[in-house]
Amino acid sequence: MHEMSMAMEIARVAEERLGTAAWQLVAVGVRVGDRAGVEPANLSFCLDAVFATPPFRGARCDLVPAAGDVLQIDYFEIDDGNPDD
């Protein structure tokens, strides 16, 4: 199941972007094309499993349907602890 490899790479990129900051990852959006060679349900399952582990503590994964062969991280939503945001 190559979707698990993709999920682990998405988590690696998220962890790299967060760095050592004390921010909490809330959600990750991933654009998935209809010809990307990815089964969205399997990718969603794998992302949920990967993001259930530390340091992500249950971040939500939003798959955004797209046309073509695109597979791209669309956004990261973080909680920086500032209640004014």
Q: What is the pLDDT of residues 9-32, one digit of tens each?
A: 999 999 888 876 667 889 999 999
**Token pair of 18, please?**
């967060």
- Residues 6 or more apart from 3 whose CB is under 8 A from it? 38, 39, 42, 43, 45, 46
Alpha-carbon distances of 7 from 43, 50, 81, rounded to whole Å: 7, 7, 26
Residue 85 in domain = no
Residue 25 in domain = yes
Residue 50 in domain = yes
Residue 51 in domain = yes
Domain count, the chain: 1
Distance CA 72, CA 70 (A): 6
Q: How confident is the model at residue 65 (pLDDT cuts 50, 70, 90)?
A: very high
Q: What is the CATH number of the domain that holds 6?
A: 3.30.2320.50
> Has residue 85 got a pLDDT over 80?
no
Structural domain that includes position 43: 2-79
Mean pLDDT of 64-74: 96
Name the burial class of residue 80, with classes exposed (0-12), middle (13-18) and buried (19+) by CB atoms within 10 angstroms of its CB. Answer: exposed
